[in-house]
Structure 1
Amino acid sequence: MKASALPRLLRCLVLAGAVLLGPAVLPGGASAAEALSIGEVELAIRDRLEAGDAAGAADLVRDQLDATDDPRLQEALLDLLADLARKSGDWRLAADALVALADALGEHQPPPGDRAWLYARAGAALVSAGAPGEAIDQYRQGLLIAVEAGLEQVRDRILTALAALSADAPDDETRAGAKALADEFAVASSKIAVETQGRDITTLQDKGYAQVDIYYATDRAHDDTSLPGSFYGGGRGDLEYGTARVSIPLNHKAGQIEQASIFSFTFREDPKHHIVLQSVTPAESPKVFEAMRGQLKRTGSKEAFVFVHGFNVTFADAAKRTAQIAYDMEFDGIPFLFSWPSRGNAYSYITDTASVRQSGRKLVTVLKRIVAESGATRIHLIAHSMGNRAMTDALELLAVENRGKPPLFEQVLFTAPDLDAGLFQEMLKTIRPIAARTTLYASNNDWALAISRQLHGDSPRAGQGGKEIIAMSDVDSVEMSALGADMLAHSYFANDPSALTDILSLFWRDAPPEHRCGMEAEKGDHGRYWQFDPAKCDGNAMLMALRLVRHAGARTLAEARDLIESRLDPETLKSIDTKRLELALAKLYAN
């Protein structure tokens, strides 16, 4: 089967697999017989695709469409049919399927970007089918949605297509219609540009979500650029900069990445309930750095953080994590993602290992430019899992170049590093002077690192905790085994409000461990380390309080106390342990 057809087919087959839970729990009332029939047709579709017969595969999908009246199955099948029709060159069928899917989704209030992109794709398919006049109608539908929802990327793509039609359409009527539609939405487009200029975190109460703008650099190759979630794939490409917009639901819980899940039978992302990557916009690097400087000028901040993700992470997932960290900390500086070409699946460990080391060289260039061109004077670095390989490679080279000079970075956080423990310690001897403070977050319950250790001949990993945790005199080693909200206990650094509170304490006040809540000194096999106990630190309350006093610039504990009592409503104050909160703040302000 061709790789590009697999995701769409899998969406259909997920519903088929739901029969294992019993007919009563199938979404939309689909019967077991209907679900199984999709599973039975899979082999026939795969055989025809492997034989290069996309048209025959499309015929099978159409037969399946006729056999079911379940709306969700129909939507998944229409999605697959559009892709198969495109592969077979049947652009009319592709357009019809895309329009039918967009119309069907309108009944479920999906993310507006989904429907806008579908209408835009339908318009493009109609142009390819030799029906440019009909394409204009679909472009209009897409523009209406894009302008209302403030989706600049979709809007610009459609306006570009209309400009091409107005110049190259085969008849005067189509050329005039394309130009008229483009002119009609030109004013609305200007309005969007004015409203969104300089927006970093924007709360849209009427839509039920907030929007976070992040900056990025990546050496991933482009994949399906028609959709934000698949804009970049797992292949290697040239270094590219840009911006991305991520929506965060207003009912978001700090530390969580709310997402659609087959276990809850939510098959489509909904920004009211899920964190969604809404747009990806590549740009020339000078423009990106100019925008970063503009943001810092508007907010008055001098900070930036750079996040480097780990193994088995897609670009979309990394963008969501970067936005979540910025949103949960109410970070008013620059959130920046460096995304290396991880394949984004659990079976590509060796491939990811090769990719991340190559990307480390490119990260050197990115970090140099952030230091020189972003306008930020307090730059923090966060690397996770295998991403620490790129980070340590880059920092070792930068440290050699910067020898004898002041540190380039404020806080450098190595979280769950999937790196040989001995090599990590040797590299830190060179790296350490490049940062004002260096912190290692490790865990003895990190299942992912335990597997990595087995793959590396039982060599200890730098991110493994317990009594064997790495301990060095000028590195703060923090044992986080008490955390681990995710299934692999591997993303604890951002999955728990207590951990986020610890990071915010570092970013704000450069607080040493003894002045941060939940920290207790312990003696390990290699020296002193810090044991983190979340029970001694009310994570949600402390995170809320830190965000408040940090933004208000409270300089003393008394100012912080007065601020909390005056700004928080009585019901919120009743719900938190104010004594524990005051003790934690007193510890922090003692720094």
Structure 2
Amino acid sequence: MRAGGRTYIVGACLFSLALLAGCASRPEAGALVSNATVVQGATSHDILVATTRARDDRPGTFFNGDRTSSLNFASIEVSVPPSHKSGNIEWPSSPPGNPQTDFVTRGGEFLDSDKQFIAQLNQRLKSQPRGHRKVLLFIHGYNTLFAEGLYRFTQVVHDARGSAVPVFFSWASRGKTLDYVYDNNSATIARDGLERTIRLLAASDADEINVVAHSMGTWVTVEAFRQIKISGLLPPGGKIGTVVLAAPDIDIDVFKSEMQRIGKPKKPFLIILSKDDRALGLSRFIAGDKDRLGASGDAAELTALGAVVVDLSDLKADDSTNHSKFAQIAEIAPDLRKVLARGIPKPRQDGPVSAATTVLTLPAAVLTAPIKILTAN
């Protein structure tokens, strides 16, 4: 096929994906205008931000989709309404929103240096006893505006009911479906910034750093860990906890290469996948029909690389692309942690098996379908 023909088809596919994602207006400039109104039953979350996005001084914006060579920091407080439904983001129809019914930003500030960032992090860690001071680091995916990533992370933090200090790493996505190549290049540029962020977290008073990355953000994450391994300057032993790769938009051959350099982690990577992920189907087409990690059908291959696989293929998605299922299971995070802590029992059967499987079934009020967890024998 001629290059022009393939470019046309890719453009048409991206346009179709944009239609699948819906036509509602998205939270761009001014979406994070402050609303400090106190509402009974609303819950506030203080989110620390490290980002390779450029600062944006327009009120209620903080950062835009442009790249910067420096690492910027901020602290932003987000309120979740008392009527919140697990897995959802209750977007305001217009800023600043109603804290009784909407996610709203209560306030925020830029932080001018690494030292300010670490000082705020350590201050928040003091609320937990030594030995239990945890950080949760989140890295968003492709086609994500800053406000979208911030509110999605807040939803996950709120629904998971954890005590870890939340830190949001945001790279310079334009938040436009047709800017896949720009986003991919921005993710490449962000590797150093994420490595630096991980090192800052490791140098803090945190006892454990858990990581959740989504979509194209998973590639940035694995690359950052690869760079850390190559440098030989590893974080203090035991500080890196669970690394979750949700709907990873990574060429499966690239992932194998990265893991060969990183080696089997002490704690297996947790890969959340779904075979019906339409966004990753498009990414596969753009990438020359190469499988994406987050839509892989070969769980045994992934477990052999040192991963635990959480298969959400049977779960009905809240979004039309089936690409954000990970956010729907945040509510069951405590149950999932218990299952993984106990270990997954090996199935009793005579012949050789490629992977042990357990099925986590929860009340229909929480999930409409069971999820499958697979690990190496």
| 2:373 paired residue number | none
Is structure 2 residue 186 aligned with structure 1 residue 355? yes
Residue aligned with 1:414, SS: strand
Please give the root-mean-square deviation of Cα atoms over the aligned residues, in Å.
3.1
Residue aligned with 2:268, SS: strand
Residue aligned with 1:318, SS: helix
| 2:121 paired residue number | 292
What displacement does 1:232 show? Answer: 0.6
| 2:98 paired residue number | 270
Choose between structure 1 and 2 for higher RCO, CA contacts under 8 A separated by at least 6 residues. 2
Q: Deviations over 1:39-94 (max 9, x none)?
A: xxxxxxxxxxxxxxxxxxxxxxxxxxxxxxxxxxxxxxxxxxxx9xxxxxxxxxxx
Q: CA–CA distance in 2 between the matches of 1:481 and 1:305?
A: 26
- Summarize the alignment of residues 187-198 of structure 1 with structure 2, pairs less than 5 Å apart: none
* 1:395 corresponds to which of 201, 216, 225: 225
The 1:212/1:540 distance shift into structure 2, 3 A limit, reads: farther
Q: CA–CA distance in 2 between the matches of 1:259 and 1:431?
A: 39
Residue aligned with 2:166, SS: strand
Identity of aligned residues (%): 25
| 1:212 paired residue number | 45
* 1:222 corresponds to which of 29, 32, 55: 55
| 1:245 paired residue number | 77
Q: Is the 8 A contact 2:141 2:217 kept in 1?
A: yes
Residue aligned with 1:222, SS: strand
Q: CA–CA distance in 1 between the matches of 2:322 and 2:300?
A: 16
Larger % of strand: which? 2
| 2:34 paired residue number | 113
Residue aligned with 1:252, SS: coil
The 1:509/1:289 distance shift into structure 2, 3 A limit, reads: farther
Q: CA–CA distance in 2 between the matches of 1:239 and 1:249?
A: 31
The 1:475/1:490 distance shift into structure 2, 3 A limit, reads: same
Is structure 2 residue 85 aligned with structure 1 residue 256? no
Is structure 2 residue 107 aligned with structure 1 residue 279? yes
What displacement does 1:405 show? Answer: 7.8
Greater Cα offset, 299-308 or 447-456: 299-308
| 2:374 paired residue number | none
Q: Is the 8 A contact 1:363 1:390 kept in 2?
A: yes
The 1:305/1:539 distance shift into structure 2, 3 A limit, reads: farther
What displacement does 1:210 show? Answer: 1.7
TM-score (norm 1): 0.51
Q: CA–CA distance in 2 between the matches of 1:322 and 1:328?
A: 10
Q: Is the 8 A contact 1:392 1:427 kept in 2?
A: yes
What displacement does 1:338 show? Answer: 0.3
The 1:296/1:468 distance shift into structure 2, 3 A limit, reads: closer
Q: CA–CA distance in 2 between the matches of 1:381 and 1:487?
A: 26
Residue aligned with 2:106, SS: strand
Q: Is the 8 A contact 2:142 2:180 kept in 1?
A: yes
Residue aligned with 2:64, SS: strand
Is structure 2 residue 288 aligned with structure 1 residue 475? no
Residue aligned with 1:389, SS: helix
Q: Is the 8 A contact 2:133 2:207 kept in 1?
A: yes
Q: Is the 8 A contact 2:208 2:238 kept in 1?
A: no
State the AA in 1 paired with 2:214.
H
The 1:415/1:513 distance shift into structure 2, 3 A limit, reads: farther
What displacement does 1:314 show? Answer: 1.2
What displacement does 1:368 show? Answer: 0.5
Query: Matched residue pairs, number?
Result: 327
| 1:47 paired residue number | none
What displacement does 1:439 show? Answer: 1.0
* 1:490 corresponds to which of 323, 348, 351: 323
What displacement does 1:288 show? Answer: 2.2
Residue aligned with 1:113, SS: coil
Q: Which blocks of at least 5 consecutive residues in structure 2 are unaligned?
A: 1-28, 371-377
Q: Deviations over 1:234-274 (max 9, x none)?
A: 001221122111110111112211214xxxxx445322222
Q: CA–CA distance in 2 between the matches of 1:521 and 1:343?
A: 50
Is structure 2 residue 350 aligned with structure 1 residue 514? no
| 1:538 paired residue number | 363
Say which one has the larger Rg. 1
Q: Deviations over 1:104-131 (max 9, x none)?
A: xxxxxxx9936xxxxxxxxxxxxxxxxx
Residue aligned with 1:298, SS: coil
| 2:281 paired residue number | 450
The 1:338/1:512 distance shift into structure 2, 3 A limit, reads: farther
The 1:221/1:112 distance shift into structure 2, 3 A limit, reads: closer
| 1:528 paired residue number | 355
Q: CA–CA distance in 2 between the matches of 1:378 and 1:448?
A: 32
State the AA in 1 paired with 2:292.
R
The 1:404/1:218 distance shift into structure 2, 3 A limit, reads: closer
Q: Is the 8 A contact 2:300 2:355 kept in 1?
A: no
Q: Is the 8 A contact 2:33 2:59 kept in 1?
A: no
Q: Deviations over 1:126-146 (max 9, x none)?
A: xxxxxxxxxxxxxxxxxxxx6
| 2:5 paired residue number | none
What displacement does 1:529 show? Answer: 6.3
The 1:281/1:439 distance shift into structure 2, 3 A limit, reads: same
Q: Deviations over 1:281-334 (max 9, x none)?
A: 111321221222122212334111100000011111111122112211222221
Q: Is the 8 A contact 1:408 1:434 kept in 2?
A: no
Q: Is the 8 A contact 2:299 2:309 kept in 1?
A: no
What displacement does 1:461 show? Answer: 0.3
State the AA in 2 paired with 1:281.
E
What displacement does 1:399 show? Answer: 2.4
Residue aligned with 1:466, SS: coil
| 1:336 paired residue number | 167
Q: Which blocks of at least 5 consecutive residues in structure 1 are unaligned?
A: 1-82, 84-110, 115-145, 150-203, 261-265, 543-579, 581-591
